[in-house]
């Protein structure tokens, strides 16, 4: 099996715990480029938050953002695929979150909207993603439009019951993966990283046996399972490690670099 395309999650996979692309990882990615192997990002983050990393990894890479909701070329801005949450469904999510007192942020046209930037969760996310949110105050709860994604954030314990209620309420209407223990993603039913990766591979004329996927979270499961070679990080969730064909080292121990070295660069 010759790998021609590698899609890797960003947070807790490509990036170490300090949010850095480690030198060994960049060297391995450059080695893949020299062999004609494309290494790209498949993240839950918004598009413009992952563009700077894509620029370090290649020229005009096609990036998968919003858990597969948006596939777009980094340099040209050309969109290959875009899926959004229907406006009425988004309004229902906002109404439920307001009644329950749950924190939720909303992404429309690659802008991040919140009720207030003073919320600790908004501030933490802005720091993580290096993005400044747009605060709308009370008008946030009447936000009109079709979001590419919405994101609920709470502590991991509280998120268990939040996710259960959300999945019960929106079963068959929305996809609701947990990208981190305290994150619940809200995306259209036909959106996940596996579908997005399959679309990208087809656009490149590649079969799944030519694709590697690397990730750590629940939202990475679909691409780990779809790819010809699915790789989980040692720091990944139990489900990710169980479903993957192989488990590499952690994000702080050059896990992505090791996977590329062993399964791409070491082959003739």
- pLDDT band of residue 104 (cuts 50, 70, 90) is very high
Q: Where are the domains of the chain?
A: 5-82+191-265, 87-188
Tell me what the pLDDT averaged over the chain comes to. Answer: 97
Question: 1.10.10.60, 3.40.50.12780, 3.30.565.10, 3.40.50.1000: which CATH number matches 5-82+191-265?
Answer: 3.40.50.1000
- Give per-residue pLDDT as tens, 213-236: 999 999 999 999 999 999 999 999
Q: How far apart are CA 69 and CA 182, in angstroms?
A: 20
Average pLDDT over residues 239-250: 98
Share of the chain above pLDDT 90, in %: 97
**Which pLDDT does position 27 carry in this prediction?**
98
- pLDDT band of residue 208 (cuts 50, 70, 90) is very high
Average pLDDT over residues 1-17: 96
Residues 6+ apart with CB under 8 A from 157: none
Question: 3.90.1150.10, 3.30.1240.10, 3.20.20.70, 3.30.70.890: which CATH number matches 87-188?
Answer: 3.30.1240.10
Q: How far apart are CA 226 and CA 212, in angstroms?
A: 9
Q: Taking each helix axis as running N to C, give the angle between helix 47-57 and helix 23-34, from 0 to 180 degrees, rounded to the nearest 10.
A: 70
β-pair type (79-82, 70-73): antiparallel
**Which pLDDT does position 267 carry in this prediction?**
81
């Amino acid at each position: 099996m010759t790998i021609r395309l590698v899609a890797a999650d960003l947070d807790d996979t490509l990036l170490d715990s300090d949010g850095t692309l480690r030198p060994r990882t960049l060297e391995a990615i450059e080695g893949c480029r020299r062999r004609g192997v494309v290494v790209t990002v498949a993240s839950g983050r918004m598009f413009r938050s992952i563009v700077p990393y894509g620029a370090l990894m290649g020229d005009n890479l096609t990036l998968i953002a919003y858990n597969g909701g948006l596939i777009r070329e980094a340099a040209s801005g050309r969109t290959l695929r875009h899926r959004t949450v229907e406006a009425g469904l988004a309004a229902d999510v906002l109404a439920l979150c307001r009644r329950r007192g749950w924190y939720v942020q909303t992404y429309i046209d690659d802008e991040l909207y919140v009720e207030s930037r003073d919320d600790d969760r908004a501030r933490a996310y802005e720091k993580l993603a290096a993005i400044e949110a747009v605060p709308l105050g009370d008008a946030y709860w009447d936000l009109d439009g079709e979001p590419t994604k919405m994101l609920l954030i709470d502590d991991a314990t509280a998120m268990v019951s939040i996710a259960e209620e959300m999945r019960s309420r929106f079963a068959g209407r929305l996809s609701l993966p947990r990208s981190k223990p305290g994150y619940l993603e809200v995306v259209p039913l036909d959106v996940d990283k596996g579908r997005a990766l399959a679309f990208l591979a087809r656009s490149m004329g590649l079969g799944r046996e030519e694709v590697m996927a690397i990730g750590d979270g629940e939202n990475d499961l679909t691409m780990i399972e779809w790819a010809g070679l699915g790789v989980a990080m040692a720091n990944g969730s139990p489900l990710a490690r169980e479903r993957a064909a192989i488990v590499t080292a952690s994000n702080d121990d050059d896990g992505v670099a090791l996977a590329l070295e062993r399964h791409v660069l070491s082959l003739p």
